[in-house]
């Protein structure tokens, strides 16, 4: 892709048609979607390489629909697992609460599969497709320190003094987005919950671990998720709990010792599985209130920069994927880039706010205790595994 540049005062300004700041799942989906619609895109990534931190992720039909239309599903299926069901279990009583059939009835209903996979495998597929498109250029080790809306263009300034001038600037720079600060003054708020994640070879997982099931164990102020990834060769686990010593002033909370102590009340299977978690890193959880002001002139937010959400309904990556596809559609539907970005905002902000708030509410539902938990379990017991009506608004959405 050609890139114009001009120099002065020892600095270089590059002119690019579309600029994406952030080379994660959302940013690369937007770049690929724009490329598929005939637009040239330049992507800047702060890190030294285009990589994903973390382990597994879940892709519901609202995301696999988009990835199918972008032409990356064949690459994904070489690494993904298509589970047969989603199972909720009571972590204390070791009893089923409810299940969702993810097999043939699910695919007939929604038209697309439910997949689980390693985040890195999804990012690699998007990267390969962007490179193969011939319209996407990618630069790592490029930290954007300031952005500016100039009316007919936008400008991004990098830490090394270089600048990029563009017709549209997409801020896909995550939870701690610096670009969001231009549009909205809020900061992420830390909550008392912390997550531990980890993968292991499937042969090292418990003999009870199901290769074809996504299992979520729920209990008082905690939940534990298990599923296989990488074509069934690895097993992914996520443990989340509320720390009794949570503090906003220091990081000495949510320790591995607290992890073990909190899950000690669980059934023996969960207790033994938690022992296999990675202990060298933990992920404190953060929240933001939904906002509507995602766009300023030629600058727009996308993914976690616009609407970070709890992982309780596994929609963070899915919503970023929806964003990227919708943004490309709206921007290429009009000759006025600012009008296209505003149409993207109008199409997305209420939906993503609903997903954010639903995730928050479902977290509270999972983490009930005592009589409240018993009532939850009794309410869910009569639900049929093929009752997809409550999921239609979420999984059936066409970005």
Distance CA 118, CA 205 (A): 17
Distance CA 62, CA 321 (A): 9
Distance CA 164, CA 144 (A): 10
Catalytic residue check, 112: no
Q: Tell me the pLDDT of the chain (399 aa) as tens digits.
A: 545 555 555 578 999 999 999 999 999 999 999 999 999 999 999 999 998 777 899 999 999 999 999 999 999 999 999 999 999 999 999 999 999 999 999 999 999 999 999 999 999 999 999 999 999 999 999 999 999 999 999 999 999 999 999 999 999 999 999 999 988 999 999 999 999 998 888 888 766 666 789 999 999 999 999 999 998 899 999 999 999 999 877 788 999 999 999 999 999 999 999 998 888 889 999 999 999 999 999 999 999 999 999 999 999 999 999 999 999 999 999 999 999 999 999 999 999 999 999 999 999 999 999 999 999 999 999 999 999 999 999 999 987
Could you tell me how many helices (H) and strands (E) the chain has, helices first? 12, 18
The catalytic residue among 193, 227, 312, 395 is 227
Residue with tokens 């000495």: 252
Q: CB-side exposure of 285: number of CA atoms within 13 Å?
A: 23
Indicate the angle between helix axes 61-69 and 316-331, nearest 10 degrees.
40
Q: What is the pLDDT of residue 107?
A: 97
| pTM of model > 0.85 | yes
Tell me the β-bridge partners of 239.
196, 224
SS3 37: coil
Q: What is the pLDDT of residue 3?
A: 56
Of the chain, the end-to-end C-alpha distance in Å amounts to 28
> Please, which residues have CB within 8 angstroms of residue 113's CB and are 6 or more apart in sequence?
61, 64, 82, 102, 106, 107
**Residues making up the chain, counted from first to last:** 399
Tokens of 306: 């616009």
CA trace torsion 373, 378, 384, 386 (10° rounding):
-10
Q: What is the pLDDT of residue 188?
A: 94
Instruction: For residue 369, give the DSSP letter.
Output: -
Domains in the chain: ranges and CATH: 4-53+119-187+289-362 (3.50.50.60)
């Amino acid at each position: 892709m050609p890139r114009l540049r001009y120099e002065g005062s020892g600095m270089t300004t590059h002119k690019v048609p579309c600029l994406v700041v952030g080379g994660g799942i959302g940013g690369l989906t937007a770049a690929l979607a724009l490329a598929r619609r005939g637009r040239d895109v330049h992507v800047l990534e702060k890190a030294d390489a285009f990589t994903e931190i973390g382990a597994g992720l879940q892709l519901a039909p609202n995301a696999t629909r988009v990835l199918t239309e972008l032409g990356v599903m064949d690459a994904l299926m070489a690494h993904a697992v298509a589970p047969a069901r989603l199972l909720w279990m009571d972590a204390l009583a070791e009893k089923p609460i409810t299940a969702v059939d993810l097999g043939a009835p699910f695919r007939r209903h929604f038209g697309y599969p439910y997949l689980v996979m390693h985040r890195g495998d999804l990012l690699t597929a998007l990267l390969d497709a962007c490179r193969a498109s011939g319209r996407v250029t990618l630069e790592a080790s490029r930290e954007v320190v300031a952005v500016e809306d100039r009316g007919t263009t936008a400008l991004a300034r990098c830490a090394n003094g270089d600048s990029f001038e563009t017709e549209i600037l997409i801020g896909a720079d995550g939870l701690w987005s610096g670009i969001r600060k231009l549009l909205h003054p809020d900061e992420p708020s830390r909550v008392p919950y912390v997550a531990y994640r980890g993968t292991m070879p499937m042969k090292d997982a418990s003999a009870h671990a199901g290769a074809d099931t996504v299992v979520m164990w729920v209990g008082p102020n905690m939940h534990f998720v298990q599923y296989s990834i990488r074509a069934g060769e690895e097993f992914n686990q996520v443990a989340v709990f509320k720390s009794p010593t949570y503090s906003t002033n220091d990081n000495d909370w949510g320790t591995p010792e607290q992890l073990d102590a909190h899950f000690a009340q669980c059934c023996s299977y969960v207790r033994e599985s938690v022992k296999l978690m990675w202990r060298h890193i933990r992920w404190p959880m953060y929240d933001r209130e939904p906002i509507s002001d995602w766009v300023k002139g030629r600058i727009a937010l996308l993914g976690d920069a616009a609407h970070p959400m709890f992982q309780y309904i596994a929609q963070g990556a899915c919503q970023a994927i929806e964003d990227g596809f919708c943004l490309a559609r709206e921007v290429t539907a009009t000759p006025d880039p600012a009008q296209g970005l505003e149409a993207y905002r109008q199409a997305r902000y209420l939906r993503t706010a609903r997903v954010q708030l639903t995730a928050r509410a479902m977290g509270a539902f999972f983490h009930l205790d005592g009589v409240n938990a018993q009532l939850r379990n009794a309410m869910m017991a009569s639900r049929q595994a093929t009752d997809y009506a409550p999921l239609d608004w979420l999984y059936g959405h066409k970005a």
